[in-house]
Amino acid sequence: MAIERTLSILKPDATRRNLTGHINAIFEDAGLAVLAQKRILLTRAQAESFYGVHRERGFFNDLVSYMISGPVVAQVLSGEDAVLKNRELMGATDPKKAAEGTIRAQYAESIEANSVHGSDSAENAATEISFFFAEIDIVA
């Protein structure tokens, strides 16, 4: 096992319901540390760029509109196997399929408004972290 970093986003449905602390407690209880965090309102161009891999998907425009519908909290999480551990804590994309106790099973409103984003590989984590944070912002 290795100490990794991953990029997490608390999505607008989570910030709207004041769940930042609840979700961060789940990360911290599982041994993931929040090394950097900021609450921002993404522009449409920023959201389109972040989710660019999904540009051809039918849900892309709706997803972008949703992601700019309110503030998000972007954060760098760190810990052993952080990428996979965070994906396990998040649960499946569709909350109806998410395992009991996962963040999405507990909090997601829909397959789109599913409360959290998490990088899906260490390589993508590095790219996604640098989308939001400079190295000087990340304090271990």
Give the residue numbers marked as catalytic. Answer: 117
Minimal CB distance residue for Mg ion: 120
* AA identity, residue 140: A
Residue 72 pairs in a beta bridge with 40
| 120 lies in the binding site for ligand IDP (CB under 6 A) | yes
Q: How far is the CB of 51 from ligand IDP (least distance, A)?
A: 7
Nearest to 86 by CA among 111, 115, 110, 64: 115
| 34 lies in the binding site for ligand IDP (CB under 6 A) | no
Beta strands in the chain (DSSP E): 3-10, 33-40, 72-80, 116-118
Piece of the chain touching ligand IDP by CB under 6 A; list 22-30, 32-40, 113-121, 122-130: 113-121
| 49 lies in the binding site for ligand IDP (CB under 6 A) | no
Which residues, other chains included, contact 71 with Cβ-Cβ below 8 Å and sequence gap of 6+? 12, 15, 39, 40, 41
What is the β-pairing status of strands 72-80 and 3-10? Answer: antiparallel
Piece of the chain touching Mg ion by CB under 5 A; list 35-43, 60-68, 82-90, 118-126: 118-126
Per CB under 6 A, residues contacting ligand IDP are 54, 59, 63, 93, 111-112, 114, 117, 120
Per CB under 5 A, residues contacting Mg ion are 120
